[in-house]
Amino acid sequence: MRRLTPVLREDGVDLDLISLIRTILAACKEISFRVSQGALAGVLGSTLDENIQGETQKQLDVVSNELFKDITLESGFCRAIMSEEEEFSVPGNPEGEYLVAFDPLDGSSNIDINSLIGTIFSIMKAPVGAAPDDQDMFLQPGTQQVCAGYVLYGPSTMLCMTTGKGVRMFTLDKTHGGFLLTEDKVSIPPATKEFAINMSNQRFWETPMQRYIDDLIKGEEGKREKRFNMRWIAAMVGDVHRLLCRGGIFMYPTDTKNQKQPFKLRLLYEANPMSFLVEQAGGVSSTGYERIMSMTPNNIHQRVAVVMGSKDEVETCLDYHK
Ligand code: AHG
Ligand code: MN
Ligand code: MN
Protein backbone atom coordinates (compact mmCIF):
# COMPACT_ATOMS: atom_id res chain seq x y z
CA MET A 1 0.00 0.00 0.00
CA ARG A 2 1.06 3.61 -0.56
CA ARG A 3 3.19 5.48 1.96
CA LEU A 4 1.90 8.61 3.73
CA THR A 5 4.96 10.74 2.96
CA PRO A 6 6.81 10.37 -0.34
CA VAL A 7 10.04 8.36 -0.08
CA LEU A 8 12.51 8.96 -2.90
CA ARG A 9 15.02 6.50 -4.31
CA GLU A 10 18.65 7.68 -4.81
CA ASP A 11 17.88 8.78 -8.38
CA GLY A 12 14.95 10.90 -7.16
CA VAL A 13 12.19 8.53 -8.30
CA ASP A 14 9.28 8.28 -5.85
CA LEU A 15 8.99 4.78 -4.39
CA ASP A 16 5.21 5.01 -4.69
CA LEU A 17 5.64 5.53 -8.43
CA ILE A 18 7.82 2.42 -8.60
CA SER A 19 5.18 0.47 -6.68
CA LEU A 20 2.47 1.79 -9.01
CA ILE A 21 4.48 0.67 -12.04
CA ARG A 22 4.90 -2.77 -10.45
CA THR A 23 1.14 -2.88 -9.92
CA ILE A 24 0.53 -2.03 -13.58
CA LEU A 25 2.94 -4.78 -14.61
CA ALA A 26 1.10 -7.26 -12.41
CA ALA A 27 -2.10 -6.39 -14.31
CA CYS A 28 -0.31 -6.72 -17.67
CA LYS A 29 1.08 -10.14 -16.68
CA GLU A 30 -2.49 -11.28 -16.00
CA ILE A 31 -3.57 -9.95 -19.39
CA SER A 32 -0.54 -11.58 -21.05
CA PHE A 33 -1.52 -14.95 -19.56
CA ARG A 34 -5.07 -14.72 -20.89
CA VAL A 35 -3.84 -13.53 -24.30
CA SER A 36 -1.51 -16.53 -24.54
CA GLN A 37 -4.34 -18.92 -23.63
CA GLY A 38 -6.50 -17.47 -26.45
CA ALA A 39 -9.58 -19.56 -27.18
CA LEU A 40 -8.73 -21.78 -24.18
CA ALA A 41 -9.35 -18.82 -21.86
CA GLY A 42 -12.61 -17.94 -23.68
CA VAL A 43 -11.38 -14.43 -24.41
CA LEU A 44 -11.79 -14.32 -28.21
CA GLY A 45 -14.72 -12.82 -30.13
CA SER A 46 -16.93 -9.79 -29.59
CA THR A 47 -19.30 -8.78 -26.83
CA LEU A 48 -22.78 -7.47 -27.64
CA ASP A 49 -21.76 -4.01 -26.37
CA GLU A 50 -20.22 -0.86 -27.78
CA ASN A 51 -17.78 1.30 -25.84
CA ILE A 52 -18.03 5.08 -25.46
CA GLN A 53 -16.19 5.45 -28.80
CA GLY A 54 -19.03 3.60 -30.55
CA GLU A 55 -16.72 0.65 -31.29
CA THR A 56 -17.77 -2.96 -30.77
CA GLN A 57 -16.02 -4.28 -27.67
CA LYS A 58 -14.09 -7.51 -27.93
CA GLN A 59 -14.16 -9.91 -24.98
CA LEU A 60 -10.49 -9.21 -24.43
CA ASP A 61 -11.06 -5.41 -24.37
CA VAL A 62 -13.46 -5.95 -21.47
CA VAL A 63 -11.39 -8.56 -19.61
CA SER A 64 -8.20 -6.44 -19.90
CA ASN A 65 -10.00 -3.30 -18.80
CA GLU A 66 -11.48 -4.98 -15.72
CA LEU A 67 -8.13 -6.51 -14.71
CA PHE A 68 -6.19 -3.27 -15.19
CA LYS A 69 -8.85 -1.17 -13.46
CA ASP A 70 -9.32 -3.44 -10.44
CA ILE A 71 -5.62 -4.02 -9.81
CA THR A 72 -4.56 -0.36 -10.14
CA LEU A 73 -7.46 0.97 -8.03
CA GLU A 74 -6.90 -1.69 -5.38
CA SER A 75 -3.26 -0.61 -4.97
CA GLY A 76 -4.25 2.75 -3.43
CA PHE A 77 -1.65 4.69 -5.46
CA CYS A 78 -4.18 6.24 -7.85
CA ARG A 79 -6.41 9.25 -7.17
CA ALA A 80 -8.30 8.18 -10.29
CA ILE A 81 -7.89 6.16 -13.45
CA MET A 82 -9.31 6.51 -16.96
CA SER A 83 -9.56 4.04 -19.80
CA GLU A 84 -10.52 3.84 -23.45
CA GLU A 85 -13.27 1.47 -22.33
CA GLU A 86 -14.77 3.74 -19.63
CA GLU A 87 -16.96 6.73 -20.46
CA PHE A 88 -15.85 8.63 -17.36
CA SER A 89 -12.76 8.53 -15.19
CA VAL A 90 -13.05 6.18 -12.20
CA PRO A 91 -12.30 7.66 -8.75
CA GLY A 92 -9.70 5.96 -6.60
CA ASN A 93 -7.99 6.74 -3.28
CA PRO A 94 -8.37 10.44 -2.21
CA GLU A 95 -4.80 10.13 -0.83
CA GLY A 96 -3.41 8.64 -4.04
CA GLU A 97 -0.73 10.76 -5.72
CA TYR A 98 -1.12 9.51 -9.28
CA LEU A 99 -3.45 9.38 -12.27
CA VAL A 100 -3.29 6.56 -14.79
CA ALA A 101 -4.77 6.76 -18.29
CA PHE A 102 -4.70 3.53 -20.28
CA ASP A 103 -5.69 1.66 -23.40
CA PRO A 104 -6.16 -1.82 -21.91
CA LEU A 105 -6.01 -3.55 -25.28
CA ASP A 106 -4.57 -1.80 -28.30
CA GLY A 107 -5.02 -3.42 -31.70
CA SER A 108 -8.42 -5.00 -30.99
CA SER A 109 -8.87 -6.04 -34.65
CA ASN A 110 -5.82 -8.30 -34.25
CA ILE A 111 -7.19 -10.28 -31.28
CA ASP A 112 -9.11 -12.88 -33.23
CA ILE A 113 -6.31 -13.44 -35.77
CA ASN A 114 -3.70 -14.18 -33.05
CA SER A 115 -1.67 -11.14 -34.08
CA LEU A 116 0.12 -8.33 -32.27
CA ILE A 117 -1.70 -6.49 -29.44
CA GLY A 118 -0.67 -4.61 -26.31
CA THR A 119 -1.57 -2.40 -23.35
CA ILE A 120 -0.59 1.31 -23.30
CA PHE A 121 -0.37 3.41 -20.12
CA SER A 122 0.39 6.98 -19.09
CA ILE A 123 1.00 8.18 -15.51
CA MET A 124 0.64 11.78 -14.30
CA LYS A 125 0.64 13.39 -10.86
CA ALA A 126 -2.79 14.17 -9.41
CA PRO A 127 -3.12 17.92 -8.75
CA VAL A 128 -2.86 18.82 -5.05
CA GLY A 129 -6.26 18.85 -3.36
CA ALA A 130 -8.23 17.64 -6.40
CA ALA A 131 -11.16 15.34 -5.63
CA PRO A 132 -10.99 11.77 -6.98
CA ASP A 133 -14.13 12.34 -9.05
CA ASP A 134 -12.77 15.51 -10.70
CA GLN A 135 -12.30 14.28 -14.25
CA ASP A 136 -10.60 17.54 -15.32
CA MET A 137 -7.50 16.34 -13.43
CA PHE A 138 -6.65 14.34 -16.55
CA LEU A 139 -6.64 17.37 -18.87
CA GLN A 140 -2.89 17.95 -18.53
CA PRO A 141 -0.50 18.23 -21.49
CA GLY A 142 1.64 15.17 -22.25
CA THR A 143 4.72 17.03 -21.01
CA GLN A 144 3.33 16.43 -17.49
CA GLN A 145 3.60 12.63 -17.78
CA VAL A 146 5.95 11.14 -15.17
CA CYS A 147 5.96 7.70 -16.77
CA ALA A 148 4.64 6.13 -19.95
CA GLY A 149 4.93 2.75 -21.52
CA TYR A 150 3.35 -0.23 -23.17
CA VAL A 151 3.37 -3.98 -22.77
CA LEU A 152 3.42 -5.84 -26.08
CA TYR A 153 1.84 -9.31 -26.19
CA GLY A 154 3.87 -10.70 -29.08
CA PRO A 155 5.96 -13.84 -29.58
CA SER A 156 7.53 -12.63 -26.34
CA THR A 157 5.85 -10.28 -23.87
CA MET A 158 7.81 -7.03 -23.70
CA LEU A 159 7.63 -3.88 -21.62
CA CYS A 160 8.87 -0.59 -23.05
CA MET A 161 8.94 2.27 -20.59
CA THR A 162 10.22 5.75 -19.80
CA THR A 163 10.24 7.91 -16.68
CA GLY A 164 11.83 10.79 -18.61
CA LYS A 165 15.40 9.52 -18.50
CA GLY A 166 15.57 7.55 -21.72
CA VAL A 167 13.70 4.45 -22.83
CA ARG A 168 14.26 0.88 -21.69
CA MET A 169 12.85 -2.42 -22.88
CA PHE A 170 12.27 -5.49 -20.74
CA THR A 171 11.28 -9.03 -21.68
CA LEU A 172 8.96 -11.12 -19.53
CA ASP A 173 10.77 -14.23 -18.34
CA LYS A 174 7.87 -16.64 -18.03
CA THR A 175 10.03 -19.12 -16.11
CA HIS A 176 9.95 -16.91 -13.00
CA GLY A 177 7.49 -14.14 -13.92
CA GLY A 178 9.85 -11.14 -13.91
CA PHE A 179 10.46 -8.48 -16.57
CA LEU A 180 14.22 -8.56 -17.31
CA LEU A 181 16.05 -5.58 -18.79
CA THR A 182 16.95 -6.46 -22.39
CA GLU A 183 17.58 -3.02 -23.98
CA ASP A 184 19.06 -0.29 -21.83
CA LYS A 185 19.20 2.68 -24.17
CA VAL A 186 16.59 2.68 -26.89
CA SER A 187 17.51 5.13 -29.63
CA ILE A 188 15.58 5.75 -32.87
CA PRO A 189 17.85 6.22 -35.90
CA PRO A 190 17.17 9.70 -37.38
CA ALA A 191 16.93 8.47 -40.98
CA THR A 192 14.71 5.69 -42.28
CA LYS A 193 13.37 4.00 -45.42
CA GLU A 194 10.26 2.56 -43.76
CA PHE A 195 6.82 4.15 -43.34
CA ALA A 196 3.60 2.99 -41.69
CA ILE A 197 0.19 4.35 -42.65
CA ASN A 198 -3.20 2.86 -43.54
CA MET A 199 -2.99 3.43 -47.33
CA SER A 200 -6.66 2.58 -47.81
CA ASN A 201 -7.47 6.04 -46.41
CA GLN A 202 -5.30 7.85 -48.97
CA ARG A 203 -8.11 9.62 -50.81
CA PHE A 204 -9.44 11.03 -47.51
CA TRP A 205 -6.18 12.71 -46.38
CA GLU A 206 -5.29 16.38 -46.59
CA THR A 207 -3.19 17.55 -49.56
CA PRO A 208 0.15 17.82 -47.65
CA MET A 209 -0.06 14.16 -46.53
CA GLN A 210 -1.12 13.04 -50.03
CA ARG A 211 1.93 14.78 -51.51
CA TYR A 212 4.34 13.43 -48.88
CA ILE A 213 3.21 9.82 -49.36
CA ASP A 214 3.25 10.21 -53.18
CA ASP A 215 6.90 11.21 -52.95
CA LEU A 216 7.74 8.22 -50.72
CA ILE A 217 6.10 5.86 -53.21
CA LYS A 218 7.99 7.34 -56.17
CA GLY A 219 11.12 6.01 -54.47
CA GLU A 220 14.47 6.54 -56.21
CA GLU A 221 12.66 8.00 -59.23
CA GLY A 222 11.09 10.82 -57.19
CA LYS A 223 12.49 13.78 -55.31
CA ARG A 224 13.35 11.63 -52.26
CA GLU A 225 15.76 9.61 -54.42
CA LYS A 226 15.48 6.47 -52.30
CA ARG A 227 13.23 3.44 -52.18
CA PHE A 228 10.86 3.16 -49.20
CA ASN A 229 9.23 0.07 -47.74
CA MET A 230 5.84 0.00 -46.00
CA ARG A 231 4.56 -1.84 -42.90
CA TRP A 232 1.15 -1.70 -41.17
CA ILE A 233 0.44 -3.87 -38.13
CA ALA A 234 -2.92 -2.16 -37.39
CA ALA A 235 -1.96 -1.90 -33.73
CA MET A 236 -0.22 1.33 -32.81
CA VAL A 237 1.62 -0.54 -30.08
CA GLY A 238 3.22 -2.84 -32.67
CA ASP A 239 3.95 -0.13 -35.22
CA VAL A 240 5.56 2.12 -32.60
CA HIS A 241 7.52 -0.81 -31.18
CA ARG A 242 9.00 -1.38 -34.65
CA LEU A 243 10.10 2.22 -35.00
CA LEU A 244 11.64 2.20 -31.51
CA CYS A 245 13.58 -0.93 -32.53
CA ARG A 246 14.80 0.10 -35.99
CA GLY A 247 13.41 3.53 -36.91
CA GLY A 248 10.59 4.48 -39.24
CA ILE A 249 7.72 6.91 -39.48
CA PHE A 250 4.22 6.07 -38.19
CA MET A 251 1.24 8.16 -39.22
CA TYR A 252 -2.46 8.28 -38.52
CA PRO A 253 -3.33 11.62 -40.10
CA THR A 254 -6.54 13.61 -40.31
CA ASP A 255 -9.01 12.17 -42.79
CA THR A 256 -12.51 12.92 -44.06
CA LYS A 257 -13.68 9.29 -44.08
CA ASN A 258 -16.07 10.02 -41.23
CA GLN A 259 -16.93 13.73 -41.03
CA LYS A 260 -17.79 13.44 -37.33
CA GLN A 261 -14.43 11.88 -36.49
CA PRO A 262 -11.48 13.44 -38.33
CA PHE A 263 -8.88 11.70 -36.13
CA LYS A 264 -8.50 8.06 -35.06
CA LEU A 265 -6.03 7.87 -32.19
CA ARG A 266 -6.73 9.06 -28.68
CA LEU A 267 -4.55 11.75 -27.10
CA LEU A 268 -4.43 10.71 -23.44
CA TYR A 269 -3.85 6.97 -23.68
CA GLU A 270 -2.39 6.44 -27.16
CA ALA A 271 -0.73 9.55 -28.65
CA ASN A 272 0.73 11.07 -25.45
CA PRO A 273 2.39 7.98 -23.94
CA MET A 274 3.77 6.94 -27.34
CA SER A 275 5.02 10.51 -27.96
CA PHE A 276 6.82 10.48 -24.60
CA LEU A 277 8.58 7.23 -25.54
CA VAL A 278 9.43 8.42 -29.06
CA GLU A 279 10.82 11.77 -27.87
CA GLN A 280 12.81 10.10 -25.10
CA ALA A 281 14.34 7.80 -27.72
CA GLY A 282 15.43 10.78 -29.84
CA GLY A 283 12.47 10.84 -32.24
CA VAL A 284 9.85 13.48 -33.02
CA SER A 285 6.08 13.37 -32.51
CA SER A 286 3.62 15.85 -33.98
CA THR A 287 0.06 16.24 -35.25
CA GLY A 288 1.57 17.53 -38.50
CA TYR A 289 1.22 21.07 -37.20
CA GLU A 290 2.18 21.02 -33.50
CA ARG A 291 3.99 18.94 -30.90
CA ILE A 292 1.53 16.41 -29.50
CA MET A 293 2.88 16.56 -25.93
CA SER A 294 2.33 20.35 -25.76
CA MET A 295 -1.40 20.12 -26.44
CA THR A 296 -3.77 20.85 -23.56
CA PRO A 297 -6.54 18.24 -23.82
CA ASN A 298 -10.13 19.49 -23.73
CA ASN A 299 -11.78 16.10 -23.28
CA ILE A 300 -10.54 12.83 -21.82
CA HIS A 301 -11.34 10.87 -24.99
CA GLN A 302 -10.02 13.55 -27.36
CA ARG A 303 -8.61 12.25 -30.64
CA VAL A 304 -5.65 13.64 -32.51
CA ALA A 305 -3.66 13.25 -35.76
CA VAL A 306 -0.30 11.52 -35.28
CA VAL A 307 3.02 11.67 -37.16
CA MET A 308 5.89 10.16 -35.16
CA GLY A 309 9.23 8.43 -35.45
CA SER A 310 12.69 9.02 -36.93
CA LYS A 311 13.64 12.66 -36.50
CA ASP A 312 14.77 13.54 -40.04
CA GLU A 313 11.87 11.74 -41.69
CA VAL A 314 9.19 13.27 -39.43
CA GLU A 315 10.70 16.71 -40.03
CA THR A 316 10.58 16.11 -43.79
CA CYS A 317 6.90 15.18 -43.47
CA LEU A 318 6.25 18.31 -41.38
CA ASP A 319 7.87 20.47 -44.10
CA TYR A 320 5.03 19.42 -46.43
CA HIS A 321 2.56 20.79 -43.87
CA LYS A 322 4.11 24.27 -43.59
P1 AHG B 1 -7.86 0.12 -30.36
O2 AHG B 1 -7.75 -1.33 -30.71
O3 AHG B 1 -7.38 0.42 -28.96
O4 AHG B 1 -9.22 0.70 -30.65
O5 AHG B 1 -6.83 0.95 -31.26
C6 AHG B 1 -6.66 0.63 -32.61
C7 AHG B 1 -5.97 1.78 -33.32
C8 AHG B 1 -4.46 1.71 -33.34
O9 AHG B 1 -3.88 0.84 -32.50
C10 AHG B 1 -4.13 1.33 -34.76
O11 AHG B 1 -2.97 1.98 -35.18
C12 AHG B 1 -5.31 1.75 -35.53
O13 AHG B 1 -6.40 1.75 -34.64
C14 AHG B 1 -5.60 0.82 -36.67
O15 AHG B 1 -6.46 1.45 -37.51
P16 AHG B 1 -6.99 0.80 -38.88
O17 AHG B 1 -8.13 -0.06 -38.47
O18 AHG B 1 -7.40 2.01 -39.69
O19 AHG B 1 -5.87 0.02 -39.51
MN1 MN C 1 -5.72 1.65 -29.04
MN1 MN D 1 -8.05 -0.37 -27.07
- Are 138 and 254 found together in one domain? no
The answer to whether the CB of 120 is under 6 A from ligand 1 is: no
pLDDT of residue 185: 97
Interatomic CA distance for residues 288 and 255, integer angstroms: 13
Burial class (CB in 10 A: 0-12, 13-18, 19+), 205: buried
Partners of residue 229 on adjacent β-strands:
194
Query: What would you measure as the largest C-alpha separation in the chain, in angstroms?
Result: 64
- 31 and 136 share one domain: yes
Query: What total number of domains does the chain contain?
Result: 2
Phi, psi of 57 (to 5 degrees): -85, 135
Instruction: Tell me how far the alpha carbon of residue 106 lies from the centroid of ligand 3, in angstroms.
Output: 4
Q: Is the pLDDT of residue 226 over 90?
A: yes
Q: Is the pLDDT of residue 1 over 60?
A: no
Q: How many CB atoms lie within 10 A of CB 269?
A: 26
Q: Are residues 269 and 224 in the same domain?
A: yes
Domain that holds residue 35: 4-183
Measuring CA to CA, which residue among 162, 60, 56 is closest to residue 104? 60
pTM of the complete model: 0.96
| Closest-lying ligand 1 atom to the alpha carbon of residue 110 | 2
Q: Which amino acid is located at 286 in the chain?
A: S
> Where does a domain end: 152, 183, 214?
183
Closest Cα to atom 17 of ligand 1: 234
Phi and psi torsions of 83, nearest 5°: -140, 155
| Domain contains 189 | no
Nearest to 308 by CA among 229, 253, 228, 227: 253
**CA–CA distance, 98 with 185 (Å, rounded to integer):** 26
- Give tens-digit pLDDT for 50-90: 887 788 888 999 999 999 999 999 999 999 999 999 999 99
- pLDDT over 90, % of the chain: 89
Same domain, 134 and 19: yes
